[in-house]
Structures are given as structure tokens and as C-alpha cells.
Chain A
Amino acid sequence: MRWYRWLAVVPAIGMLGGVPFANRVTPYVLGLPFLLFWVTAWVVLTSVIMWIIYVLDRAREPRGERERP
């Protein structure tokens, strides 16, 4: 098992697990009510985390097996 792949569960825990605590209007961040900011931030972080997994996965693959886009 590639340990870093467990990172993929972080967005689910952060986004959903945080909802009961982030369920508030203030402080406004970037003009957004806090709850909307919270879920939006996790959308962006999901992309970042999946990118990290992707890069680590690619690094482990033998060069010859890499496919061209």
C-alpha cells in the first residue's frame, strides 16, 4: 500500500467533519460567510491533495511505463 494515498481521505474529513464547527456567518473571509468559505477552501485543498498524490504516484512509476498525454 502506498501510504500517501491515505491523504485522499483528508478532504472528506476536513470538509464534512468541520461543518458542525464552521456553521457560522462570521468572520467573513474574502467576503464569504464563514461556512461558504470553509467548504470552498476544502474544494481547493482537495485539488492540491490529489495533485500531491498524483505527483508521488508518477514518481514511483518506472520511466518506460509513463504514458504521454
Chain B
Amino acid sequence: MNPALLLIGISFFAALALGIRARRGHAMTLEQWSVGGRGFGTVLVFVLMAGEIYTTFTFLGGSGWAYGKGAPAFYILCYGTLAYGMSYFLLPVIWRYANAHALVSQADFFVRKYESEALGVIVSLVSVAAMIPYLVLQLKGLGIIVSEASVGAISAGPAVWAGSVVLVIYVVVSGVRGSAWTAVLKDILILAVALVLGIYLPAQLHGGYGAMFADINRAHPGFLILPRTGMSPAWFISTVVLTALGFYMWPHTFGSCYTARNENVFRRNAVVMPLYQLVLLFVFFTGFAALLEVPGLTGTSVDLSLLRVTEHAFGPWMLGVVGAAGLLTALVPGSMLLMSACTILSKNVYAKLTPREIPEARVTRLARALVPVVALVSVLLTLRGGSTLVLLLLAAYNVVTQLFPALMLCLPNRPIATRQGAIAGILAGEATVAALTLTGATMGSLFPSWPPVITDLNVGIIAMLVNVVVLFVVSGLTGRPHRSLQTSP
């Protein structure tokens, strides 16, 4: 067995052991399984939230886009930062309400605020639909890591199957406590790996950052700025804004904010987390260093650039360490996504659509039974292939961001939207996203004669506008919000 695969195997069993250890002594009710008993302190919440944010996407996708596209990759650095600023005001409000009403899931929040079970089911289905491409992204990352670490001995297809089996075992064994402890391990590893690669490679291969960027600018003029058309500043700004709005709409991010002990945790996080984003710089540096060192990767294989340059510069042992860190960056968010999707399907869709009362033990059992099913669907989608990691994430964001208007408008004590308005807005937004995605439309194809400032905008803007307009019109037509909504805290 080659050293890289050996190290990756060891890290998997370490993660599994942490998961089993964390589980001991806890009764596994559904709330325990998905919210960790609401007892996490600052450090653990910090790590847990960071754990979700540092995914295969940032690690392989971020370096891949720096390698393949150059400056447009910088958008990844911006949207999280702006979302953290927003979180200072948003999360305490959500947390306070969720805590007062003992809510477990994101859908619960909408159900309670709008007093509409139907809206809860819609939000649940939307969020699962958004989580699938995000999960596909993690599996794709796992597949890339395993197949690169084996130096081609295991091809991408079987590697994806292996990766998803690993993920399913991990989720069934550990639940959210496992995610938290593995997140601690993962954060230390990913930080070390990103710094070592991002500092050593540019210094060793080019003699420093300045020299590296000068080399790149010479070899690929225009690569370090946004192009005048296409991924232009207009694209950049609209993409950052849309993605930042969607940042906390993910059910797993939303749900994990319930785990905090008090609301000050979020305020402190909003101060510290932007600095954590700076790790991304080193991920970019690695992608840029790879550009001149291992040239020739195109299309979806740009996602391999980080692993290729590691292998090229350090050999199989270091590839193993990086692969191990990569495995954990896929396992932690992957397990969170898989678990959330199954819990939602069981508790917020199945149990709500069944007229009679279902005992909680059965809902928990169903959630667990769904884990391999959802994983299987994701594997099949992963094997169809065709998109880079970044494009997968952008697609997922277009779906999930549609929840933003309905959420914002229910936060005040007197909600601004009615339940009919919220439902109509979300459905109209998602229908637009589906239509745009299926036809492959862009602003350029919709409005060919308009100036580039308009045609380069992220096409998700259209769906968002449709959503907001429908929401306000229907809310206006259906009159004042429900009386008891105005008195809820």
C-alpha cells in the first residue's frame, strides 16, 4: 500500500474513533443526534461553524479556481466575510427565537413564524434540493483525493463509491458530536496544511509572492485581474452579494447556530471569523503556484491542481498528509449535510405529511435509514459529472438563497410578509432558478443588446427579483399578517 493511502486510511479511522468516543454516554434522541443537546461552548461552536465553512470546496475548489480562472476566485474570500458581518445582527435574533421555542430545524423556524406547516414542508424540500449538489461536491472531493492519493491505481468512479461508504459509516456511527470533535482535528490539520503549502511552494518554486505573481502576470497577462467582460466586476459584485445572502440559509448552518450556549457567541464570532477567512489566501497561493509548476490541467481537472502540485513538490508522504486533511474537510461538512438532509426528510417532510402522530423513535429510525439512500442518490449524481466544484456550489447557492427574503421578512415582531406571500415567493423564485438552469440562460442570452454591466450580472439576480416581487404582491393581496404573528416574540 502506498504511503499516501495509508495516511488517509489512518485519518479515517481516527475520525471514526473520535466519533464513537464522543457518542458514549449520550442517549441518542433526535435532538441529541442533530443539535448536540444545546450545550456547546464558544470554542466548540467556533470550530463547528468553521468546520462547515472549510469544506472540500474551499480546499480543492478554491485552489482549482485560482489555477483555472485566476482573479474571479477572489470572490470566495469576499462572500463569507460579508456574511459574517451580517451574522452579528441576524444570528442572535434567530437564536433567541429558536431557543425560546425549543426549535430543532430551520423549517421549524418558518413553521412557527408563519404558522404554516405547508411552508415548513416547502422550505424543507428546497433545502434538501440545495444540499444535494453541495453533498455531490463533497463526494466529488473525496473521490478526487482517494484517486489522486492512489496515483491513479483507483480511478475516480470507484473512489467516489469508497468515499461515500466512508461517509455513511461515519454519519451513522457518530451524529453531530462526532462532527464537532472531528472538526477540531480537521481544523488543526487544514490550517497546518494550507500554511505549509501556501508559504513553502511560492517561496521554493518562485522565490516569494511578489516574484510568483510577477511570473504569472508575465506568462498569463490579465490573469490576476477581472476580465472586462464575462467574469467582470459586475459578475463579481453580484455573485458575492447573492452568495453572502445565501450563506446562513443552509439548514445545517442555520441549525448549528441553535447549538450555541448564548447569543454573544455569535457576536464574538462575527469579529473573529473574517480573520479565519485569510486561510483562503494560502489556498489561492497554492493554486497560483501550481499554475506554472503543473500546467495543462483544464476543465474539471483544475480541481486536482492542489494535490498534483503537492505530489510534484513533496512526494507521496506529504500527499498523504494533505489527502488526510482533505478527507476530513469532506467528512465534516459531508456528514453534517447528509445528516441534515435525512433528518429533514424524516421529521419535516414525512412526519408532517402523515396525518397521524408518529413516535419520535420511529422518526429517528427513518432518518438513519435514509442516510444510505440519500448518499446513493448523491453518488449517482456525482458520477454523471461535468462541473467543477465551484460551479456546483454556485448552483446550490442559487437554490438556497431563495429562502432569504421570506426569512428576513418574518424576523420583525410584526412580520412584513403573509404566509401565502412567503410560499408564493419561494416557489416563484425556485421555478425561475429551475428554468434558468435547465435552459442554461445567462443575463447575456436574455438581454443580448444590453451593456456588459448588465449582461455580466449573475443570473441568480433574476430569480431573486421574481421572488421578491411575487412575495410582496401576494402578501399585499392576502392582507394583514395573521393576528397571532404580531404578538409572537
> Which chain A residue shows the least CB distance to B66?
A36
Q: From DSSP, what is the main secondary structure of chain B's interface residues?
A: helix
List residues 39-92 of chain B with CB under 8 A from any CB of chain A. Answer: 41-42, 71, 74, 77-78, 81-82, 84-86, 88-89
User: Which residue of A16, A20, A28, A50 is within 8 Å of B84 (Cβ)?
Assistant: A50
Q: How far is the CB of A9 from chain B (nearest CB, A)?
A: 8
| Cα-based distance from A47 to B274 in the complex (angstroms) | 6
Does A69 lie within 8 Å of B274, measured CB to CB? no
With A33-B213, A36-B224, A44-B275: A15-B81 Cβ-Cβ less than 8 Å:
yes
| Cα-based distance from A46 to B77 in the complex (angstroms) | 12
Q: How far is the CB of A68 from chain B (nearest CB, A)?
A: 9
User: Which residue of A16, A25, A54 is within 8 Å of B271 (Cβ)?
Assistant: A54
Q: From DSSP, what is the main secondary structure of chain A's interface residues?
A: helix
With A8-B88, A47-B272: A20-B233 Cβ-Cβ less than 8 Å:
yes
User: Which residue of B74, B88, B264 is within 8 Å of A67 (Cβ)?
Assistant: B264
Assess whether B142 is interfacial by the CB under 8 Å rule: no
Task: Tally inter-chain residue pairs, CB-CB below 8 A.
Answer: 109
| Cα-based distance from A20 to B86 in the complex (angstroms) | 23
Chain B residues near A32 (CB-CB < 8 A): 209, 213
Interface residue tally for chain B (C-beta within 8 Å): 42
Q: How far is the CB of B468 from chain A (nearest CB, A)?
A: 19
Does B213 lie within 8 Å of A40, measured CB to CB? no
Assess whether B241 is interfacial by the CB under 8 Å rule: yes
Assess whether A31 is interfacial by the CB under 8 Å rule: yes
> Which chain B residue shows the least CB distance to A30?
B209
List residues 19-69 of chain A with CB under 8 A from any CB of chain B. Answer: 19-20, 23-25, 28, 30-33, 35-36, 39-40, 42-44, 46-47, 49-51, 53-54, 57, 67, 69
> Which chain A residue shows the least CB distance to B202?
A31
With A23-B225, A23-B233, A32-B209: A43-B81 Cβ-Cβ less than 8 Å:
yes
Chain A residues near B82 (CB-CB < 8 A): 11-12, 15-16, 46
Does A28 lie within 8 Å of B226, measured CB to CB? no
Chain B residues near A69 (CB-CB < 8 A): 41-42, 264, 268
Q: Annotate B223-253 by CB proximity to A: 1 below 8 A, 0 otherwise.
A: 0111000000100110011000000000000
Does B241 lie within 8 Å of A16, measured CB to CB? yes
Q: Which of A5, A32, A43 has the most C-beta atoms of chain B within 10 angstroms of its own C-beta?
A: A43
Chain B residues near A40 (CB-CB < 8 A): 77, 278, 281
Assess whether B99 is interfacial by the CB under 8 Å rule: no
| Cα-based distance from A67 to B41 in the complex (angstroms) | 13
Does A25 lie within 8 Å of B224, measured CB to CB? yes
> Which chain B residue shows the least CB distance to A19?
B233
Assess whether B479 is interfacial by the CB under 8 Å rule: no
Chain A residues near B81 (CB-CB < 8 A): 11, 15, 42-43, 46
Contacts A16-B78, A19-B236, A36-B74 given; 17 further ones with Cβ under 8 A? A16-B241, A23-B71, A24-B225, A33-B213, A33-B224, A36-B281, A40-B278, A42-B81, A43-B78, A43-B274, A46-B81, A46-B82, A47-B274, A50-B274, A54-B270, A54-B271, A67-B262
Interface residues of A (CB under 8 A from B): 5, 8, 11-12, 15-16, 19-20, 23-25, 28, 30-33, 35-36, 39-40, 42-44, 46-47, 49-51, 53-54, 57, 67, 69
